[in-house]
Amino acid sequence: MIQILKMAFRDLGRNRRRSFFSALAVGAGLALLILMASVIEGEMGSAIESAIKLQSGHIQIRAVTYNENKSSLKWVDLIENPEQIAGQIGALNQVKAVTPRLYASGFLSSGTQSAGARITGIDPLSPASDPYREGVVSGNFISPDDREAVLIGKPMADKLNLKVGDNVSLSLNTSDGNVQDQTFTVKGIYSTNTYGFDSATVFLPLVKAQAITQTENHASTIFILLKDTALTDSVLPALHVSSNLEIKTWKDLNALFVDYEAMAQSYISIFYLIILAISASVIINTLIMSVYERTREIGILSAIGMRGNRIMMLFLAESSMLAVGGVIMGLIIGVLATLYFNVNGFYIGNMGLSGILITDTIYAKLTTDNLINLTIMTFVVTLLSGFYPAVMASRMQPVAALRAEK
Amino acid sequence: MEVVKIENVTRVYQIGKLETRALQGVDLSIESGEFTSLVGPSGSGKTTLLQMIGCLDQPTSGHVIVNGKDVTKLNRNQRADMRRENIGFIFQFFALIPTLSAYENIEMPLLLNRQGTAERKERVMELLKAVDLTDRANNRPDQLSGGQQQRVAIARALAPRPALILADEPTANLDTENGRQVMDIMQKLNKDTGVTFVFATHDPRVINYARRVVTLQDGLIEKESKPVKK
Ligand SMILES: Nc1ncnc2c1ncn2[C@@H]1O[C@H](COP(=O)(O)OP(=O)(O)OP(=O)(O)O)[C@@H](O)[C@H]1O
Ligand SMILES: [Mg+2]
């Protein structure tokens, strides 16, 4: 056995360049798989986390009849005593923040320009509002007692040509179906680096939003952030709401995204297969070439009484060594590349996927799961590709040793 | 004792529609300790006959009995075992494993026979001495001359102490001096150890070494002679 390994190793050494490039092909394949998986992991992970943080929360409580797309302000569609429900939920220890929010649709206009807006009344002091506060790029964040101040996103400010301190006119629907106009001052401009969100979302203090829409102390939703996304299912049994309300989790609230992710995963599997098939065909090709070149040698081994299965082992040993070499190279290249994109990220700008919030820079994120699975997958595929050439070698006739000319 | 018995062996090669009758019914018996030469013009079937005796190929009809066993009834693995245990080969093209040193080439059949380390080492050193290559033990085949390579091949063939060594034109690629040296060694080993040698050749100087000469013609044994000399 040791002799077989020694022979296999020397056989690879005999044609160093070819062995190196075959191993490199396996390595490059693996590196590409690792990088792809990490980028996707990074994108999916950050997209879902930012959707939760910015828009959906982990859990929301809403009226059963509430229609998110219409931002309805009819009484039946709203929650009557949100502070009380929020207080109860806030007592659960998995909960990081719980806060009522009010949504209304409207538009902002300045001079001749106008832009559709999703007016969002928030409690500026709630920890759930931190991502917006942290996103302020100029001016200041709103405070609960502001009555004429709005916080707008950077894309909206650019579009309407607004600076901090400028006046802007806001028109929005009210609970009785009328339209209300009022002039506000831009108190701050924020950016969460998420175009789909920043270009439309306009923040008011909740109290002001309730006043202008004439919804009194009602809220569209109770927005709940947990200490960790994984806690979602464990919190659900502890939530009890009256029959006119319903509980929605981030999975329900981001259904589009969850579907998109599932679809993306299946496309990605096809890419994986293509990459693996390329690596496999390089290995098969190298080994078949080497079997043909060594017809005579295989014949000699067979003539001196080496059984077919041992000859097969010799070639399998060679492909295992290529696999090990390739996997090591792949791990080094793949991890380094991932590390680079983990630190620097790569900028994709506004991908324009409507309904899905995606940040403009993707940071690769390598999980041990992915690393282990892809490494094993590459290793196994490489070994399997060595099988056919090895069987071919073991079936060769010993007469070849006497017949093949030099 | 009879080492090889060939009974009415034929071998027909078929390539497309073309049939070549390489052996057309050969009967031959080889006793232990013989030093026999197969001669005959090119294409007469010498190599084909050696392949039959050596279990490298199967006859189209007839029987090949080696060491009392009918090898035409064995499967691939059993034939490999038969070769490993009973038959050594020396080929025209020195047929060494290029990645292994002289020492390792000779050791190979011993490894295949699962002999112990100490035993292997002793045997390889003994053989290197017998073919006068002790100082070349660690050289790879490409670092050896043709004559030296062929001597390594002889040592390898001899290593597992086979009953029979088959050589196909062992001197065809060697100059006169090296050819003579190789034949001398083969003859000496035959005398000293009693191992049976059968070799195919065209070379009259090599035929001179033989104690029995079998002449083939068109796949049939044309005549036999026992030159008396020295
Ligand atoms: N694999 C093969 N396929 C087809 N025909 C073959 C094959 N091997 C040998 N032959 C034919 O069988 C006949 C006998 O060949 P063989 O090699 O046994 O002759 P030989 O006596 O060894 O000749 P030489 O002295 O040239 O080595 C020849 O006509 C040859 O062409
Ligand atoms: Mg021949």
pLDDT, tens digit, 9 for 90 and up, residues A281-293: 888 988 898 888 8
| Long-range residue pairs from B184-191, CB within 8 A, at least 24 positions apart, any chain | B185/B130, B185/B131, B185/B132, B185/B151, B185/B154, B186/B35, B186/B154, B187/B35, B189/B130, B189/B154, B189/B158, B190/B33, B190/B35
**Mean pLDDT along residues A98-111:** 92
A306/A211 same-domain check: no
A101/A188 same-domain check: yes
A227 touches chain B (CB under 8 A): no
A113/A224 same-domain check: yes
Distance CA B90, CA B158 (A): 10
Distance from CA of B218 to the nearest CA of A (A): 19
Nearest residue (by CA) to ligand 1, atom 26, is: B42
Q: Residue A162: what pLDDT?
A: 92
A10 touches chain B (CB under 8 A): yes
Q: Do B89 and A401 touch (CB under 8 A)?
A: yes
Distance from CA of A349 to the nearest CA of B (A): 56
Enumerate residue ranges in chain B where pLDDT < 70. Answer: 228-230
Is the pLDDT at A398 greater than 90, yes or no?
no
Instruction: Give buried/exposed letters for B114-127 (b at 16+ CB in 10 A, else e).
Output: ebeeeebeebbeeb
Neighbouring residues of B221: CB distance < 8 A, sequence distance ≥ 6: B26, B27, B28, B214, B215
Is the residue at B182 inside a domain?
yes
Is the residue at B197 inside a domain?
yes
The structural domain count of chain B equals 1
Q: A-chain residues within 8 Å CB-CB of B85? A: 305
B162 within 8 A of B88, measured Cβ to Cβ: yes
A351 within 8 A of A358, measured Cβ to Cβ: yes
**Full DSSP string of B112-126:** HTT--HHHHHHHHHH
Residue A301: in which H helix or E strand, if any? helix A295-303
Is the residue at B35 inside a domain?
yes
Please, what is the average pLDDT of chain A? 87
Mutate to test the interface with A, among B46, B52, B87, B91 (most CBs of A within 10 A): B91
Q: Predicted confidence band at A400 (pLDDT cuts at 50, 70, 90)?
A: low
Distance CA A377, CA A276 (A): 9
Is the residue at A249 inside a domain?
no
Is the residue at B157 inside a domain?
no
Is the residue at B110 inside a domain?
no
How far is the CA of A370 from the CAs of A32, A40, A271, A274, A358, in angstroms? Answer: 12, 11, 15, 17, 22
Q: Residue A100: what pLDDT?
A: 95
**Full DSSP string of B200-219:** E---HHHHTT-SEEEEEETT
B204 touches chain A (CB under 8 A): no
Q: Do B56 and A399 touch (CB under 8 A)?
A: yes
**Mean pLDDT along residues A115-121:** 93
Q: Predicted confidence band at A170 (pLDDT cuts at 50, 70, 90)?
A: very high
Classify residue B56 by its DSSP letter. Answer: S
Q: Which two tokens stand for residue B118?
A: 């100490």
Residue A44: in which H helix or E strand, if any? helix A16-51
Nearest to A131 by CA among A196, A55, A208, A206: A55
What is the number of CB-based contacts under 8 A between chain A and chain B? Answer: 77
Is the residue at A253 inside a domain?
no
Q: Residue A211: what pLDDT?
A: 92
Q: Does the CB atom of residue B215 touch ligand 1 within 6 A? A: no
Is the residue at A57 inside a domain?
no
Q: Which of A10, A305, A402 sits opposite B112 (nearest CB)?
A: A305
Q: Does the CB atom of residue B13 touch ligand 1 within 6 A? A: yes
A22 touches chain B (CB under 8 A): no
Distance CA A394, CA A353 (A): 55
Instruction: Report the CATH number that the domain containing residue B87 is assigned in CATH.
Output: 3.40.50.300
- Ligand 1 atom, smallest distance to B51 CA: 18
Is the pLDDT at A406 greater than 50, yes or no?
no
For a mutational test of ligand 1's pocket, the pick from B23, B48, B50, i.e. the residue with the most ligand atoms closer than 8 A to its C-beta, is B48
Domain hosting A74: range is 65-242
The last residue of one of the domains, among A242, A271, A294, is A242
How far is the CA of B119 from the CAs of A226, B111, B116, B124, B160, in angstroms? Answer: 73, 11, 5, 9, 11
Q: Does the CB atom of residue B22 touch ligand 1 within 6 A? A: yes
Q: Which two tokens stand for residue A85?
A: 């429900």
Is the residue at B133 inside a domain?
no
A264/A230 same-domain check: no
Nearest residue (by CA) to ligand 1, atom 16, is: B45
The torsion defined by the Cα of A241, A244, A250 and A252, in degrees rounded to 10, comes to 140
B222 within 8 A of B229, measured Cβ to Cβ: no
Nearest residue (by CA) to ligand 1, atom 24, is: B42
Is the residue at A121 inside a domain?
yes
Domain hosting B25: range is 2-96+166-225
Distance from CA of A11 to the nearest CA of B (A): 7
Ranges A5-14, A113-122, A253-262, most confident: A113-122
Residues 161-180 of B with CB under 8 A from A: 168
**Residue A122: how many CA atoms within 13 Å on its side-chain side?**
28
Q: Which two tokens stand for residue A145?
A: 């007692």
C-beta atoms surrounding A382 within 10 Å: 29
Q: Predicted confidence band at A267 (pLDDT cuts at 50, 70, 90)?
A: confident
Is the pLDDT at A201 greater than 70, yes or no?
yes
A47/A83 same-domain check: no
**Distance from the Cα of residue B37 to its chain's centroid:** 11
Q: Do B83 and A399 touch (CB under 8 A)?
A: no
Q: Is A301 exposed, middle or buried (0-12, 13-18, 19+ CB in 10 A)?
A: buried
Is the residue at B212 inside a domain?
yes
Distance CA B110, CA B156 (A): 9
B194 touches chain A (CB under 8 A): no
Q: Does the CB atom of residue B41 touch ligand 1 within 6 A? A: no
Q: Predicted confidence band at A318 (pLDDT cuts at 50, 70, 90)?
A: confident
Q: Do A401 and B111 touch (CB under 8 A)?
A: no
Is the pLDDT at A350 greater than 80, yes or no?
no
The structural domain count of chain A equals 2
Q: B-chain residues within 8 Å CB-CB of A1? A: none
- Ligand 1 atom, smallest distance to B14 CA: 4
A389/A314 same-domain check: yes
Q: Do A402 and B56 touch (CB under 8 A)?
A: yes
A267/A237 same-domain check: no
Q: Does the CB atom of residue B60 touch ligand 1 within 6 A? A: no
Q: Residue A38: what pLDDT?
A: 86
Distance CA A145, CA A206 (A): 9
Is the pLDDT at A356 greater than 60, yes or no?
no
Is the residue at A248 inside a domain?
no
Q: Residue A357: what pLDDT?
A: 60
Classify residue A229 by its DSSP letter. Answer: G
Q: Which of B47, B104, B156 sits opposite A402 (nearest CB)?
A: B47
Q: Which two tokens stand for residue B155?
A: 């040592």
B163 within 8 A of B88, measured Cβ to Cβ: no
Is the residue at B68 inside a domain?
yes
A219 strand-pairing partners: A79
Indicate which ligand has the atom closest to the C-alpha of B202.
1
B65 within 8 A of B142, measured Cβ to Cβ: no
Residue A209: in which H helix or E strand, if any? helix A206-213
A299 within 8 A of A398, measured Cβ to Cβ: yes
- Ligand 1 atom, smallest distance to B44 CA: 21
